Structure 1
Amino acid sequence: MRQLFIAFLMVFAVSAQAETRDPLSYFFQPKFGDFHAELQTAREQGKKGIFLFFEMDDCPFCERMRSTILNQSDVQDAYRAKFLLYPIDVNGDTQMTDFQGKQTTEKAFALANRVRATPTMLFIDLDGKLVTRYVGPTKDKAEFLLLGKYVAEGSYASEPFTKYKQGK
């Protein structure tokens, strides 16, 4: 009986471990640096918008999001089905094009979007307009999934996320 229990635990541990995947490969899409063009890609793919994850090196909350939420296969699948997903380095000097077609850097783009803390998550609609801002890490995977559902359903147009959460 004990051996059967140990075998069960080992199988469960392996299956639970198999449900995590590297967020850089499975959550975020490759970034080409032209968000103006990415809006058209999002439209063509039938997405609801673009999700931006503003982060920086040595941010413990960003790392916690990556290692406990963004690495979960169900989170990756749910978000990839509805949004194009991109990380933005708030200290980055990488050249990019913003949603209006203007050349900028990641750092200047973060400042222009009033990113003052990391992580900051922005949801952009298909017209390049900010529809939802979430500052700081979500409490857990369930809250992060609920945040994506809130935006995908368009609930941001009628109520704040805190009120939406209370009704769920």
Structure 2
Amino acid sequence: MRQSWKTWRGLFGGLILACLPLASLAAAELPRASQLDAEARQAARAGAPLIVIFSRADCSFCQTIKRDYLQPLAADPRYAGRVVIREIGQDTEAPLTDFSGRPTTHARFAATEKIRLVPVVAFYGPGGRKLHESIVGARLPDFYQSYLEDAIEQSAKALKKP
């Protein structure tokens, strides 16, 4: 009986450990884009860009960028009420209204934007105007936060220009 309990406890513990990566993947979710032009106008009213991460469900780098940079950014008091962050799944057929008000899907919009490799973090203004160069890939972790903050500040300045 003692050996049986140890065996089950070991199997159960191993199962929990095996599921931890899945739990961390689920924890790194952001709101899905649905109405891009409305979301970009909402961000512009707050003086910031619409930040869109193009991702895939099977992309561990995407999960890292969402979990370690974008989610904390949304919670940062310096950006509270300013940033609007949305996710577009390159691998999903979720419905989406593009910047022109036309219905499309996440996958088709990503293809239209020529997104091939993910993660890509893009910065948009109303009408789909690109406000800053996209951040492609995970880049250097020690500097990613700086890249992101610089892109947001430069995008906010670009919003003020006609």
TM-score normalized by the length of structure 1: 0.64
Match of 2:99 in 1: 99
Is the partner of 1:153 in helix, strand or coil?
A: helix
Contact 1:53 1:87 in 2 (8 A): yes
Match of 2:139 in 1: 138
Q: Taking structure 1 as reference, are residues 155 and 95 closer, same or farther at Cα in structure 2, changes over 3 Å only?
A: closer
Corresponding letter in the other structure for 1:135: V
5 Å-filtered alignment, 1:101-120, equals 101-120=101-120
Match of 2:86 in 1: 86
How far has the Cα of 1:152 moved from its partner?
2.9
Match of 1:35 in 2: 36
How far has the Cα of 1:67 moved from its partner?
4.2
Match of 2:13 in 1: none
Aligned partners of 1:145, 1:152: CA distance in 2, in Å? 11
How far has the Cα of 1:81 moved from its partner?
4.9
Match of 1:154 in 2: 154
Contact 2:41 2:125 in 1 (8 A): no
Contact 1:75 1:145 in 2 (8 A): no
C-alpha RMSD over aligned residues: 2.8
| Structure 2, gaps ≥5 residues long | 1-26
Corresponding letter in the other structure for 2:37: H
Q: Taking structure 1 as reference, are residues 36 and 156 closer, same or farther at Cα in structure 2, changes over 3 Å only?
A: closer
Is the partner of 2:128 in helix, strand or coil?
A: coil
How far has the Cα of 1:157 moved from its partner?
8.5
Aligned partners of 1:156, 1:139: CA distance in 2, in Å? 24
Q: Deviations over 1:4-54 (max 9, x none)?
A: xxxxxxxxxxxxxxxxxx443xxx3x446111111222233x131111111
Corresponding letter in the other structure for 1:57: A
How far has the Cα of 1:101 moved from its partner?
1.3
How far has the Cα of 1:155 moved from its partner?
7.3
Contact 1:47 1:84 in 2 (8 A): no
| Structure 1, gaps ≥5 residues long | 1-21, 159-168
Q: Taking structure 1 as reference, are residues 61 and 79 closer, same or farther at Cα in structure 2, changes over 3 Å only?
A: farther
Contact 1:54 1:118 in 2 (8 A): yes
Aligned partners of 2:35, 2:129: CA distance in 1, in Å? 15
Give 1 or 2: higher helix fraction.
2
Q: Taking structure 1 as reference, are residues 97 and 80 closer, same or farther at Cα in structure 2, changes over 3 Å only?
A: farther
Q: How many residues align?
A: 130
Contact 1:121 1:134 in 2 (8 A): yes
Aligned partners of 1:99, 1:68: CA distance in 2, in Å? 28
Q: Taking every aligned residue pair, what percent have the same amino acid on both sides?
A: 22
TM-score normalized by the length of structure 2: 0.66
